[in-house]
Amino acid sequence: MWKCLNNPNNEIRDVVIVTVPWTDSSMPLMAPAVLRPVVEKTGHSCLAIDLNVEIYHWTRHHADQQDLIRFFFDEYISTKTGPILHQMLLSIAQGIVSWQPKYVGLSLFSYVCQHSAKWIAYYIKKLNPDIKILVGGPGCLATFTGPSEYINNMLNQKLFDYHIRGDAEHSLYELLTGNVTFHGINSLKWKELDQDELRALPMPNYSDYDFEIYDKKALPIIGSRGCVRQCKFCDYIANWKKFQWRTAADIFNEMLHQSELYNINTFKFQDSLTNGNQKEFRRLIELLAEHNINNPGNQFTWSGYYIFRDITASSESDWELIHASGATTLMVGIENINEHIRFDIGKKFTNESIDFHFEQAKKYNILLAILNIVGYVNEVEADIDAIKQWLRDHVQYKDILLLQWGATLGIFPNTYLSEHKEELGIKMIGNQPSLWVNEGTGSNPALRARWAKEIQTLSKELGYAVTENLDNHFILETLIND
Each residue's pLDDT tens digit, 115-155: 999 999 999 999 999 999 999 999 998 777 778 899 999 99
Q: d(Cα 224, Cα 247) in Å, to the nearest integer?
A: 9
| Alpha helices in 79-221, H assignment, sequence order | 81-97, 114-127, 149-156, 168-176, 195-200
User: How many Cα atoms are found within 13 Å in the side-chain-facing hemisphere of 327?
Assistant: 31
Burial 397-428 (b: 16+ CB within 10 A, else e): bbebbbbbbbbbbbbbeebbbbeeeeebebee
For position 154, which CATH number holds? 3.40.50.280
User: CA angle at residue 258 from 6 to 239, to 5 degrees?
Assistant: 85
- Contacts of 404 by beta carbon, 8 Å cutoff, 6+ apart: 369, 370, 371, 372, 466, 467, 468, 470, 476
| Same-domain status, 465 and 374 | yes
| Same-domain status, 225 and 355 | yes
Instruction: Give the residue from 147, 167, 199 where a domain finishes.
Output: 199
User: What's the confidence (pLDDT) of residue 309?
Assistant: 92
Q: 164 near 136, Cβ under 8 Å?
A: yes
| Same-domain status, 193 and 220 | no
- The alpha carbon of residue 470 and the mean position of all alpha carbons in its chain are separated, in whole angstroms, by 12
Q: d(Cα 238, Cα 431) in Å, to the nearest integer?
A: 20
Question: Cβ–Cβ contacts within 10 Å for residue 277, how many?
Answer: 20
Instruction: Give the residue from 171, 199, 227 where a domain finishes.
Output: 199
Burial class (CB in 10 A: 0-12, 13-18, 19+), 216: middle
User: What's the confidence (pLDDT) of residue 314?
Assistant: 75
26 found inside a domain:
yes
How does strand 224-225 pair with strand 301-306? unpaired
372 found inside a domain:
yes
- Contacts of 329 by beta carbon, 8 Å cutoff, 6+ apart: 303, 366, 367, 368, 369, 480, 481
Q: d(Cα 310, Cα 326) in Å, to the nearest integer?
A: 23
| Same-domain status, 248 and 390 | yes
Question: Cβ–Cβ contacts within 10 Å for residue 310, how many?
Answer: 11
| Same-domain status, 165 and 223 | no
| Same-domain status, 231 and 190 | no
| Same-domain status, 236 and 186 | no
User: What's the confidence (pLDDT) of residue 103?
Assistant: 98
pLDDT tens-digit map of 376-388? 999 999 999 999 9
User: What's the confidence (pLDDT) of residue 474?
Assistant: 40
| Alpha helices in 15-167, H assignment, sequence order | 31-41, 51-60, 65-74, 81-97, 114-127, 149-156
Closest CA to 120 of 102, 107, 137, 139: 107
Closest CA to 17 of 120, 110, 114, 89: 120
179 found inside a domain:
yes
Which CA distances in Å does 150 have to 111, 135, 137, 206, 430?
A: 10, 12, 13, 30, 19
8 found inside a domain:
yes
Q: 170 near 140, Cβ under 8 Å?
A: no
206 found inside a domain:
no
210 found inside a domain:
no
- Contacts of 70 by beta carbon, 8 Å cutoff, 6+ apart: 76
Looking at the DSSP bridge assignments, the partners of residue 333 are: 371
User: What's the confidence (pLDDT) of residue 238?
Assistant: 75
Q: d(Cα 475, Cα 402) in Å, to the nearest integer?
A: 13
| Same-domain status, 223 and 194 | no
Backbone angles phi, psi at 108, to 5 degrees: -105, 110
Residues in the chain, pLDDT under 50: 470-482
| Alpha helices in 160-313, H assignment, sequence order | 168-176, 195-200, 236-239, 248-262, 278-294
- Contacts of 47 by beta carbon, 8 Å cutoff, 6+ apart: 13, 15, 16, 17, 99, 101, 208
Range of the domain at 170: 3-199
Q: How many domains does the chain have?
A: 2
pTM: 0.91
Closest CA to 202 of 267, 257, 244: 257
| Same-domain status, 149 and 292 | no
For position 233, which CATH number holds? 3.20.20.70
- Contacts of 61 by beta carbon, 8 Å cutoff, 6+ apart: none
Closest CA to 322 of 269, 285, 357: 285
- Contacts of 422 by beta carbon, 8 Å cutoff, 6+ apart: none
Q: d(Cα 174, Cα 334) in Å, to the nearest integer?
A: 40
208 found inside a domain:
no
Q: d(Cα 404, Cα 274) in Å, to the nearest integer?
A: 20
CA dihedral of residues 96, 101, 107, 111 (deg, nearest 10):
60
Q: d(Cα 248, Cα 203) in Å, to the nearest integer?
A: 15
pLDDT tens-digit map of 212-228? 999 888 999 999 988 89
| Same-domain status, 139 and 263 | no
| Same-domain status, 220 and 76 | no
Q: Which H or E run includes 450? A: helix 445-461
323 found inside a domain:
yes
Q: 108 near 117, Cβ under 8 Å?
A: yes
Q: d(Cα 202, Cα 386) in Å, to the nearest integer?
A: 49
Instruction: Give the residue from 148, 169, 199 where a domain finishes.
Output: 199
| Same-domain status, 319 and 181 | no
> Using H for helix, E for strand and C for coil, what is the string for 323-352?
HHCCEEEEEEEEECCCHHHHHHHCCCCCHH
User: What's the confidence (pLDDT) of residue 471?
Assistant: 44
